[in-house]
Amino acid sequence: MRRQSGQALVEWGLSAFVLMLFAFGLLAVGQIVGEDMAVRSAATQAAFAAARAPSATAAQQYGQAAAAEAVLGSQIENLQVIIDTGSFQRGATLTVTARGYVNLAAFPIISQVLGRRVEVTWQAHALIEPYRSRTP
């Protein structure tokens, strides 16, 4: 009888360890997905703000500001926003690429599998406002 209770304790310990790994993995993936959504929002908001700007220079400024505001409160590290305005002609398309990193230091076992930092990237496109008058 004692042998069976010891066996049950070992089985419980092994299964609890596997379940804890699974739970921490889900938390890490949830954090990555949440921060990925922040990067997507930064790229999209930057594209729309830049597309409404009166000039290419203003588009860079407006886009950067919109991206920074979109990730405010998130845990994205080293956010880089690249705004390709092209010729900045009415009706043309501009492209914004946002790239950031998610730090997985809070999940030491998971970070050994996925890496200490996970890169998340998103690219957004927007039609440059075709009806707004532009400054030269």
Phi (first) and psi of residue 120, to 5 degrees: -125, 135
Average model confidence (pLDDT) for the chain? 90
pLDDT at 3: 62
Model confidence at 53, pLDDT cuts 50, 70, 90, reads very high
pLDDT over 80 (residue 5): no
- What token pair was written down for 73? 């409160």
Least confident of 23-27, 34-38, 59-63, 122-126: 23-27
Residues 49-73 have a mean pLDDT of 95
- The CA distance from 129 to 93, in Å, is 9
Q: Summarize the confidence of residues 87-115 as an average pLDDT.
A: 91
Q: What does the pLDDT read at residue 134?
A: 59
Q: What is the pLDDT of residue 135?
A: 56
This prediction's pTM: 0.83
Question: Token pair of 109, please?
Answer: 């076992």
Residues contacting residue 63 through CB under 8 Å, at least 6 positions apart: 46, 47, 49, 50, 53, 81, 83, 96
Among 98, 101, 100, 97, which Cα is nearest to 118's? 101
> 119: which 2 tokens?
């890169």
